[in-house]
Chain A
Amino acid sequence: MTEFLFFVFSAAALLSAVFVVTSRNPVASVMFLIVTLFSLAGLFVLLEAHFLAVVQVIVYAGAIMVLFLFVVMLLNLGHAKFADVRGPLARMLGGAFGLGLAAFTAWTLLGGSDQLTNARLAGPDPIKAALDARGAIGAVAVPLFRTYLVPFEVTSLLLLVAIVGAVVLARKEAP
């Protein structure tokens, strides 16, 4: 059952990601990206990252994508007269580069995971103990607020800068 769901979510994520790039209407692109994000949330659940799956749905699919949709509709981009895809040469170069990058990234990631898998099969499951002891949220919260407390606080500063920057950039010029 886990395997079946895993393949269904993977296929949905990849298919709708392709549609994000190929669809002509920006609103449709945003909708397909939401499907991709939901499928990734499903994959996160199957990979034992339950808290991240919830954050993915609430923050990404909920907040960030609504922001994108809001801007697309604010700028009234729904009905382009002709597609904004580049010419055939750029399309071929982009596709070839994408395929090469996919092959190289897959090769590197799988090589790294093979070494790690062999090392892991010797020892105990690295995150099962934390999940059992502290629950899905506590397992993420304890390292976040102990080891990574300073980066966490810096992140709050980053968000403040982003808020101020967005307001300054998007407001109308002073009269």
Chain B
Amino acid sequence: MSPMLIRVALLVSAALFAIGVTGVLVRRNAIIIFLCVELMLNAVNLSLVAFSRLLGIEGQVLVFFVMAVAAAEAAVGLAIIIAIFRHYEDVDVERFDLLKW
């Protein structure tokens, strides 16, 4: 594994994270926003794996924990989206203004 490929992996990771942030800022569908959050978590996982090629196996252990947290977050977040959908009949985040004012 040449250092060049590690640089490519880090570039891909940065680009994936930025795409995820852009998606969160641009979309209004709560589930798509959630998918973009998962995209950001995966971008971080990729850079952790790439850095583990330079620093040792601990980076891969950390990816394991990130995956567990992502699973918990997906379960709770989707449950919240289902509860909100039951209330508003919609998943558009512009309409969730109960806590806004």
Contact B57 A75 (CB under 8 A): no
Whether A116 is near chain B, meaning CB under 8 Å from some CB there, is yes
Asked if A105 and B49 sit within 8 Å, CB to CB, the answer is: no
Q: CB distance A86 to B26 under 8 Å?
A: yes
Which positions 48-75 of chain B face chain A at CB distance < 8 Å?
49-58, 60-61, 63-65, 67-75
Q: Is A174 an interface residue (CB 8 A)?
A: no
Given the complex, which residues of B lie within 8 Å of A97, measured CB to CB?
21-22, 25
Say yes or no: B92 contacts A84, CB within 8 Å: yes
Give A92 Cβ to nearest chain B Cβ, in Å: 10
Is the beta-carbon distance between B68 and A155 smaller than 8 angstroms?
A: yes
How many residues of chain B get a CB closer than 8 Å to chain A's CBs? 72
Q: Are A60 and B42 in contact, with the CB atoms below 8 A? A: yes
Contacts across chains A and B counted by CB atoms under 8 Å? 251
CA A95 to CA B18, docked complex, whole Å: 9
Contact yes or no, B12 A71, CB < 8 A = no
* B15–A158 touching, CB < 8 Å: no
Taking residues whose C-beta sits less than 8 angstroms from the other chain, chain A's interface range is: 35 or more
List CB contacts (< 8 Å) of A12-53 with chain B. 13-14, 17-18, 20-21, 26, 29-30, 33, 36-37, 40, 43-44, 46-49, 51-52
Q: Which residues of B contact A116 (CB under 8 A)?
A: 51, 54-55
- Cα-based distance from A148 to B60 in the complex (angstroms): 12
The residue from A49, A102, A109, A112 contacting B60, defined by CB atoms under 8 A apart: A49
Assess whether A84 is in contact with B5, with CB atoms less than 8 Å apart. Answer: no
- Contacts of A93 on B, CB cut-off 8 Å? 25
* Residue in B69, B81, B92 whose beta carbon sits within 8 Å of that of A71 in the complex: B81
Would you call A86 and B28 a contact (CB within 8 A)?
Answer: yes
Q: Which residues of B contact A26 (CB under 8 A)?
A: 29, 31-32
Which of B12, B65, B67 is packed against the most chain A CB atoms within 10 Å? B12
* 30 chain-A/chain-B pairs, Cβ below 8 angstroms: A6-B8, A10-B9, A21-B26, A21-B36, A26-B29, A26-B31, A47-B5, A47-B49, A47-B53, A49-B52, A52-B63, A52-B64, A55-B64, A63-B71, A64-B71, A75-B81, A84-B29, A85-B26, A90-B26, A91-B26, A95-B22, A116-B54, A116-B55, A117-B6, A139-B60, A155-B68, A159-B68, A162-B76, A166-B75, A170-B82
